[in-house]
Each structure stands twice: as structure tokens, then as C-alpha cells.
Amino acid sequence: MRLLYTEKQNQFRAEVREWLAANLPGQPLASFDTPEGFEQHRAWERKLSEKGFSAVTWPKDLGGRGCDLIEWLIFEEEYWAAGSPLRVNQNGVFLLAPTLMEYGTPEQKARFLPRMATAEDIWAQGWSEPGAGSDMAAIRSRAQRDNGHYVVNGQKVWSTRAVWADWIFGLFRTDPNSQRHHGLTFLLMPLKTPGITIRPIKQLNGLPGFAEIFFDDVKVPVENRIGEEGQGWSIAMATAGFERGLMLRSPARFQQTARQLVELYRRHREEADADPGIRDAVIKSWMDAEAYALATYRTACRLAKGGHIGAEASTNKIFWSELDLLMHETAMRILGARGELMPDAADGGDIGAWLDGFLFSLAGPIYAGTNEIQRNIIAERMLGLPRA
């Protein structure tokens, strides 16, 4: 055990810090769930990609920086500590890319990954359907093979970033007689393909952060298929594993929220202490954000030594989503009656982005597999309890 950074790692940290200080946008970007904000975030991703920073763990020839997981953690620490923008292409970079790296052909990698790194293509995901949420194996959208194409019909829903994104990845039923997780295939397609209709869905904050997508005889070339026909479920489960697992939610983001919470508490210490539970929740927030960081470093080091992530990835998702809720609920308690004020309220004082963050923290236990589903996975696959 050696919990020290190497000289090279320290240099990398310094490089990231200096670059961010010199290149961060002077003004906060508009929300990426608005048309202008979406394009501002795309431009920021492109800027990041000039240094290989939009996808630091990818090989350099695909647009990344060739970093290992410890360097990724360092990058994330500097990124969030500097107050950098949210990542508009995280569906692509953190969810699809690991799948492409593992299951994509060399041609597919060369075709999709560099354009993803530069945000020329921003990706939306197409998992859920009206009848297939937690029960994802109930997917009904069909893709029927017709020579060199699939013809796609059906409907996807809760598709994050889909309103302005360029491409979508998802699962479609290629074998009409198949049941459950059999007969599903992993397909990629441009959202501008004829036959695709996108209907934005307003989220709690009033912005269209996700969408419904309707497919009406949409032609998708066979070369846009990842893996073999009918293999889609196991490939998607691998993607879901990445999402729950290491990379989608780096600890640094929660540590930054914990820091902001501690600072908020320090500024309002006297009034906050009138509610004794607040102080305890602030300490707990710091503790759990640190615990999440320590656990992630440990996992990264185990992976570097040849280990792998199993069902314990499901513990991550529960832990960070509940931590995020705790931190935002606590901030709202400190803000008290100012908590309901929108960010542009003239007399909000130091309300910051807590309200928006609070709303978003409510989504954490729901998306990427609800926490109830995660608890089932932990109980069955990690603890070995019998299925229902």
C-alpha cells in the first residue's frame, strides 16, 4: 500500500489545473437542456478535446489522452474543483464508448470514437420504453433485417439529451419470436434518419432534458450494429455495468458538492446550528464523499492489478445517489426559505445552484437502474440470495 502520487501524476495534475485556469469559460454556460446551452457545451467539449481531455482514458489515436484510472481520477478532481461545466456528451463518452472499445470492430471504433471525442457527434441513449423501464428485457421496439439494413419500428422514452443530440444507441428486438433478453440487438443510428420523430419531455425544472423517440420504418445499415445479432442484452448489460460502476460518476463531483456544503455551513454556522441535525448531516456528507473517493481509488488500484468489477458495482450507484440526495437536502435546510428561489432571483444571496442540484439529486436513485433494482442485484449476485 502506498497512498502517494508519483511525480508524473503530480505533473499531470498541475498541467490539468493550469490548462483549466487558462481555458475555462469566463461565464457559466447556459443549461445544456437549452439550444444555445447545448451548443456552448459542445464547443467546450471540443476545446477539451484539443488536449485529449474530453476522454482522458481513451488511446491517443482515438482522440483521448491514454490516461490510466488514477490519472482519470486526478483529472476529475481538478475538473470539478475548478467549477467546470457539466459534460454534455457523457452518455457517449462514459456509456457507449466503453462498449465500443470492447465490442466494436476496428472500423466502428475509428468511425465513431474520434467524432465523439470532439463532440461532432453527441449521443443519446435508447434503453427504456413505455412498457420497459426497470424491466428492460420487456423491450418491444423491433428491428427487422432487410438485406443490408434493419428496419426499425417502435418507441423509446426517457432518452437523456435526445432533443439536440446527433446519434442514439440502444437495444431493439431483431427476433420477433424471441422472449425477454433473447433476440435483442445493439444498434446505433443518427437521430436525423428519416422516420425518427423526437418529442421533448419537460423535466421538473421545466427544461426538456429527455425525450420520447418514435421510430417509423427507420432504415439502419447493418454496419451500425455492435456485436452480433441477438447479442444485444449481454452487451448492454456490460454498458449498464460501466454506468453503475466506475466512470459515470467520479467521486470528485460529490467531493466538490461536499466542499460547497461545508462552505455554505461555515458561512451560516450560527443560524444552521439552530437545527442540530444540519451539522451532523454536513459532517456525514464529508465522510461519505471521502469514503466514495477512497473506495473508487481502491477499485482503480485493484483493476490496475488485474482485478475486475462485479456485482459490487451496484453498491456504488446506491452509495453516491443517496449521498447526493443527503448533501442537497442538507443545503436546502441551511438555505431555508430562500431555498425555493430560482437561480436568477434578484435577492437570492448565496443560493448558488443548490435548487437545481436538489432536483437533479432526486433523479439519481431512479436512473441507470433504480436503487431498488440495484439492491436486488446486490442481494442476488453479490450475496447469493435466491431469485423471487
Which position among 218, 264, 282, 355 is part of the footprint of other proteins (CB under 8 A)?
282
By beta-carbon proximity to other proteins, the closer residue of 112 and 292 is 292
**Encoded amino acid at 277, one letter:** G
Distance CA 115, CA 341 (A): 39
6 binds other proteins (CB under 8 A): yes
CB-CB contact of 228 with 58 (8 Å): no
Distance CA 247, CA 242 (A): 7
135 binds other proteins (CB under 8 A): no
318 binds other proteins (CB under 8 A): yes
**Angle of helix 276-304 versus helix 313-335 axis, rounded to 10:** 150
CA 224, 230, 232, 234 torsion-angle sign: negative
| Least distance CB 247 / other proteins (angstroms) | 16
Please name every residue paired with 126 in a beta bridge, in sequence order, or none if there are none. Answer: 170
Q: What is the dihedral of CA 2, 262, 89, 185, to 10 degrees?
A: 70
309 binds other proteins (CB under 8 A): no
Report the chain's terminal Cα–Cα distance, integer Å. Answer: 41
Distance CA 100, CA 246 (A): 17
Cell of 306: 488485474
From 53-61, 74-82, 101-109, 231-239, span contacting other proteins (CB under 8 A): 74-82
Which position among 180, 182, 202, 298 is part of the footprint of other proteins (CB under 8 A)?
298
319 binds other proteins (CB under 8 A): yes
312 binds other proteins (CB under 8 A): yes
By beta-carbon proximity to other proteins, the closer residue of 86 and 291 is 291
Other beta carbons within 10 Å of 386: 6
Active site amino acids = 243
| Least distance CB 237 / other proteins (angstroms) | 19
From 91-99, 210-218, 293-301, 348-356, span contacting other proteins (CB under 8 A): 293-301
| Least distance CB 75 / other proteins (angstroms) | 10
Which position among 47, 279, 333, 338 is part of the footprint of other proteins (CB under 8 A)?
279
Distance CA 113, CA 225 (A): 15
256 binds other proteins (CB under 8 A): yes
| Least distance CB 282 / other proteins (angstroms) | 7
137 binds other proteins (CB under 8 A): no
By beta-carbon proximity to other proteins, the closer residue of 53 and 169 is 53
By beta-carbon proximity to other proteins, the closer residue of 180 and 269 is 269
Strands 210-221 and 167-173: unpaired
By beta-carbon proximity to other proteins, the closer residue of 337 and 383 is 383
302 binds other proteins (CB under 8 A): yes
Nearest to 204 by CA among 372, 357, 373, 365: 357
Which position among 33, 45, 288, 324 is part of the footprint of other proteins (CB under 8 A)?
288
192 binds other proteins (CB under 8 A): no
243 binds other proteins (CB under 8 A): no
In 19-136, DSSP assigns E strands to 123-126
C-alpha R_g of the chain: 21
Residues 343-372 close enough to bind other proteins by CB under 8 A: 372
Distance set, CA 268 to CA 271, 279, 280, 285 (Å): 6, 11, 15, 17
Angle at 323 between CA 124 and CA 334, to 5 degrees: 110
CA 4, 6, 10, 16 torsion-angle sign: negative
| Least distance CB 71 / other proteins (angstroms) | 10
From 45-53, 165-173, 279-287, 361-369, span contacting other proteins (CB under 8 A): 279-287
Strands 210-221 and 149-160: antiparallel
Q: List interacting residues with other proteins (CB under 8 A).
A: 1-6, 9, 13, 70, 74, 76-78, 80-81, 251-253, 255-256, 258-259, 262, 265-266, 269, 279-280, 282-283, 286-288, 290-295, 297-298, 300-302, 305, 312, 315, 318-319, 372, 374-376, 378-380, 382-388
